[in-house]
Chains A and B, each alone.
Chain A
Amino acid sequence: MNTRKTFRMDGRTIPFEDGQSIIDAALAAGEYIPHLCHNPEFTPHGSCRVCTVDVDGRMVSACTQPAAEGQQVVNNSDPVNHYRRRLLQMLFVEGNHVCPGCEKSGACQLQAVAYYTGMLAPHFTHFFPRREVDASHPDTVIDFNRCILCELCVRASRDVDGKNVFSISGRGIQSRLIINSNTGRLGDSDYDRADKAASVCPVGAILPKHQGYEVPIGERLYDQRPISVVGDVAQAKQGDNGDG
Chain B
Amino acid sequence: MTDRLETAANPEGLNRVVIEPLTRVEGHGKVTLLQDDDHHIHQVRLHIAEFRGFEKFIQGRPYWELPVLVQRLCGICPVSHHLAAAKATDALVGCEALTPTAEKIRRLMHYGQVLQSHALHFFHLSSPDLLFGFDDDIAHRNIFGVIEDYPEIARQGVLLRKFGQEVIRVTAGKRIHGTGAIPGGVNKPVSGEERDYLLADVRQMIEWGQQAVELTRRIFMESPDYHREFAGFDSNMLSLVAQDGAFELYHGGLRALDENGATLFDHADCQDYDRLLHEEVRSWSYMKFPFIVKAGQRDGWYRVGPLARVNNADYFPTPLAEQEAQSFRELDAGRPVQASLAYHWARMIELLYCAEAIGILLEDDDISGTELVRRGEMQHRGVGVIEAPRGTLFHHYEINDDGLVEKANLIVSTTHNNQAMNEAIRQVANRYLDGKELNEGLLNHIEVAIRAYDPCLSCATHALGKMPLEVRLVSSGGELVDRLVKSPAGEVAHGS
The residues of A with any CB-CB pair to B shorter than 8 Å are 98, 100-103, 132-133, 135-136, 141, 187, 209-218
CA distance A103 to B183 in the complex (A): 13
Known: A213-B182, A216-B187, A217-B179. A133 touches B173 (CB 8 A): no
Interface residues of B in 396-446 (CB under 8 A from A): 402-404
Known: A213-B182, A214-B182, A214-B187. A100 touches B403 (CB 8 A): no
Known: A103-B64, A216-B188. A210 touches B403 (CB 8 A): yes
Proximity bits, B180-193, A CB within 8 Å = 1, else 0? 10110001100000
Partner of A218, one of B68, B173, B373, B403: B173
Proximity bits, B113-124, A CB within 8 Å = 1, else 0? 000000000000
Do residues B187 and A141 form an inter-chain contact, with CB atoms below 8 A?
no
Chain A residues, Cβ within 8 Å of B68: 100-101, 212-213
Known interface pairs A103-B65, A187-B402; 18 further A-B residue pairs with C-beta atoms within 8 A, sorted by A's residue number: A98-B69, A100-B72, A101-B61, A102-B65, A135-B62, A135-B402, A141-B403, A209-B403, A212-B62, A212-B182, A213-B67, A215-B187, A216-B187, A216-B188, A217-B174, A217-B178, A217-B179, A218-B173
Residue from A101, A132, A211 whose CB has the most chain B CB atoms within 10 Å: A101
Query: Does B110 count as interface, using CB distance less than 8 angstroms?
Result: no
Name the distance in Å between A222's Cβ and chain B's nearest Cβ: 16
Name the distance in Å between A77's Cβ and chain B's nearest Cβ: 34
Chain B residues, Cβ within 8 Å of A213: 67-68, 179, 182, 187
CA distance A133 to B66 in the complex (A): 15
| 14 pairs, CB–CB < 8 Å, chain A vs chain B | A100-B69, A101-B68, A101-B69, A102-B65, A103-B64, A103-B65, A133-B60, A133-B62, A210-B183, A211-B64, A213-B67, A214-B187, A216-B179, A216-B180
CA distance A213 to B65 in the complex (A): 8
CA distance A98 to B65 in the complex (A): 11
* Nearest 6 interchain pairs by C-beta: A212-B64, A101-B69, A135-B402, A213-B179, A217-B173, A216-B187
Do residues A135 and B403 form an inter-chain contact, with CB atoms below 8 A?
yes
Chain B residues, Cβ within 8 Å of A214: 182, 187, 373
CB nearest to B187 among chain A residues: A216
Query: What is the number of residues of chain B that contact chain A, defined by CB distance less than 8 Å?
Result: 25
CB nearest to B182 among chain A residues: A213
CB nearest to B400 among chain A residues: A135
CA distance A218 to B68 in the complex (A): 15
Query: Does B177 count as interface, using CB distance less than 8 angstroms?
Result: yes
CA distance A243 to B309 in the complex (A): 54
Known: A136-B402, A213-B179. A141 touches B62 (CB 8 A): yes
CB nearest to A209 among chain B residues: B403
Chain A residues, Cβ within 8 Å of B64: 103, 209-212
CA distance A157 to B383 in the complex (A): 40
Known: A214-B182, A217-B179. A133 touches B187 (CB 8 A): no
Do residues A212 and B67 form an inter-chain contact, with CB atoms below 8 A?
yes
Chain B residues, Cβ within 8 Å of A98: 69
Name the distance in Å between A147's Cβ and chain B's nearest Cβ: 16
Name the distance in Å between A204's Cβ and chain B's nearest Cβ: 10
Chain A residues, Cβ within 8 Å of B188: 216
Do residues B182 and A101 form an inter-chain contact, with CB atoms below 8 A?
no
Name the distance in Å between A200's Cβ and chain B's nearest Cβ: 20
CA distance A100 to B62 in the complex (A): 14
Chain A residues, Cβ within 8 Å of B402: 135-136, 187
CA distance A102 to B61 in the complex (A): 11
Interface residues of B in 38-76 (CB under 8 A from A): 60-62, 64-69, 72
Name the distance in Å between A106's Cβ and chain B's nearest Cβ: 10
Name the distance in Å between A211's Cβ and chain B's nearest Cβ: 6
CA distance A101 to B61 in the complex (A): 10
CA distance A129 to B64 in the complex (A): 23
CA distance A132 to B404 in the complex (A): 11
Name the distance in Å between A187's Cβ and chain B's nearest Cβ: 8
Chain A residues, Cβ within 8 Å of B60: 132-133
Chain A residues, Cβ within 8 Å of B66: 212
Name the distance in Å between B67's Cβ and chain A's nearest Cβ: 7
CB nearest to B402 among chain A residues: A135
Chain A residues, Cβ within 8 Å of B72: 100-101
Do residues B177 and A100 form an inter-chain contact, with CB atoms below 8 A?
yes
Name the distance in Å between A221's Cβ and chain B's nearest Cβ: 15
CA distance A210 to B401 in the complex (A): 12
Chain A residues, Cβ within 8 Å of B183: 210, 212
Do residues A101 and B65 form an inter-chain contact, with CB atoms below 8 A?
yes
Name the distance in Å between B85's Cβ and chain A's nearest Cβ: 10
Name the distance in Å between B8's Cβ and chain A's nearest Cβ: 43
Chain A residues, Cβ within 8 Å of B65: 101-103, 212
